Amino acid sequence: MNLINLTAQEIKTKVLNLEISPLDIVEQFLNNIEQKDKTIGAFAHIDREYAEICANDLEIRLKKGEKPALAGIPIAIKDNISRKGYLTTCCSLSLKDYKGVYDATVVSKLREAGAIIVGTTNMDEFAMGSSCENSALHPTKNPWDLNYSPGGSSGGSAACVAGGLVPLSLGSDTGGSIRQPASLCGVLGLKPSYGRVSRYGLVAFASSLDQIGSFARNYQDLNLLTEVISGYDKKDSTSVQKDLNLNFDKDKTITVGIPEEYFSDGLNTDVRIKVEEALDYLTKNANVKTIPISLPSLKYAIATYYVIATAEASSNLGRYDGMHYGTRFDGENLTDSFCQSRTNGFGDEVQRRIMLGSYVLSSGYYDAYYVKALKVRRLIANDFQDAFTKCDVIIGPTSPIAGLKLNEDVDDPMSKFLLDIYTVSANLVGLPGLSVPCGFGDKNHPIGLQIIGNSFDEACILELARRFENAGHNNKIAEIA
């Protein structure tokens, strides 16, 4: 029985009906991954041993009559999510041989739900990047076009779902690192509200912005995974005691706000056309009403994000000195050892962001940059709060472009910062954001529609995704698969 092209829900049904065993699933999916990932490079580490442990545990539970929520579904997790006893390297030389000393809360929940974790996915080092080219291991290629990037930093997680290697995966989103690769790879990618999913066990980049989220190829599978990983966790001080309720009135008219700032100069023509077509379709066929809105502070979002994110990164990555964690590069003395470990352990993009963050936190610049950025962050939040008094969700493009060529703008790293222009604001405010495939550009590159909801209102944005998908906008597995 060929399982590779089945949805997660279909695999679960076959497992619970005892039509196929968990070990058969491991064998079929891992053989497919080992064959096809040589081309895509979506995985950082493929873990047959771990997958077999998950499968054997599930087999025992099935014999007891248990029916776990993700029974037998293969899933990949980003390489910055800890698993006890297994590599968690953040695709960095500084953590080259590091093995987690505990399970992240999301890993525990996946295991409890009967999922089969097959490995960890490639990423931009420490989640810093927008193209998955900053990995210390290898670049990941977009399954739709191997000359193009899958986006980042969760590029491996998006590519392995788009390429049919697994039906579900987890990523992390600090400024668009789930939604942007979801858009470029033609899959669904959800960043939940800040505090909805526990960050315990997620290697920190920027603690006030990071959030674990999900990739899937259809609305139903995304719902399934979101329900499993959500929930309060006492181990995470930022976790919020707010139940996830995805029940939504199917007959309710959803009011969609269209920010004028999302359709200004810089938006690729292909993207504009497909997003406008999607909005037109929703208005005519999905019980949606659109209204124009304005987010005047949005023009400051990129600058605000990169001040706050790099400042927090500078603080969080200070622990990687070669003494406490990861790879040590010995120098002539202690100070030189610190310098050598950080110089050789961190890639260019990570060093760039640490230096920028250290600068904005330094004496004489703290008030001028960091404190000012926090004030602007509040202005951006106020704009969204005002918008949500008029509409239920906000819609626009996920990415300003339809494709990002590998090795493009390598001498101009600032240009890639602008790829996050439509996504960073949701992280600054802590809102849920979802990228949904809405078509292809003239070069057959996927394009994503971004839906941003009010805080902890995942139900509304997922309902809108359901209406759009049920209307015939189902995405496909990339042709290379």
- To the question of pTM greater than 0.75 for the whole model, the response is yes
Residue 177 bears catalytic tag: yes
CA distance 171 to 125: 13
Residue 435 bears catalytic tag: no
478 has a pLDDT exceeding 80: no
Q: Tell me the H-state helices in 41-172.
A: 48-63, 105-112, 155-162
Confidence tier at 411 by pLDDT (50, 70, 90): low
Q: Tell me, what's the pLDDT at 70?
A: 98
Confidence tier at 265 by pLDDT (50, 70, 90): confident
Q: Tell me the H-state helices in 6-132.
A: 8-16, 22-40, 48-63, 105-112
347 has a pLDDT exceeding 50: yes
Average pLDDT, integer, range 460-465:
97
Task: Tell me which of 153, 157, 193, 435 is the catalytic residue.
Answer: 153
CA distance 200 to 86: 16
Q: Which residues face 43 on adjacent strands?
A: 121
Q: Tell me, what's the pLDDT at 481?
A: 43
Domain architecture of the chain: domains with CATH: 8-229 (3.90.1300.10)
Q: Tell me, what's the pLDDT at 366?
A: 95
In the chain, the percentage of residues whose pLDDT exceeds 70 is 96
Query: DSSP character for 266?
Result: T
269 Cβ contact partners less than 8 Å away, ≥ 6 residues apart = none
Report how far apart the first and last C-alpha atoms of the chain are (Å, whole number): 17
475 has a pLDDT exceeding 70: no
Task: Tell me which of 12, 36, 78, 274 is the catalytic residue.
Answer: 78
Q: For residue range 188-211, what is the model confidence (pLDDT) as tens digits?
A: 999 999 999 999 999 999 999 999
CA 102 vs CA 105, 141, 461: distances in Å: 9, 31, 33
Average pLDDT, integer, range 456-466:
97
CA distance 233 to 248: 25
Q: Count other C-beta atoms under 10 Å from residue 66's C-beta.
A: 12
Which candidate, 67, 160, 81, places its Cα nearest to that of 114? 67
Which candidate, 223, 79, 76, 218, places its Cα nearest to that of 159? 76
CA distance 261 to 259: 5
Q: Is 78 helix (H, G, I), strand (E, B) or coil?
A: strand
Confidence tier at 334 by pLDDT (50, 70, 90): confident
Q: For residue range 4-57, what is the model confidence (pLDDT) as tens digits?
A: 999 999 999 999 999 999 999 999 999 999 999 999 999 999 999 999 999 999
Average pLDDT, integer, range 229-244:
97
Residue 153 bears catalytic tag: yes
Task: Tell me which of 94, 108, 172, 177 is the catalytic residue.
Answer: 177
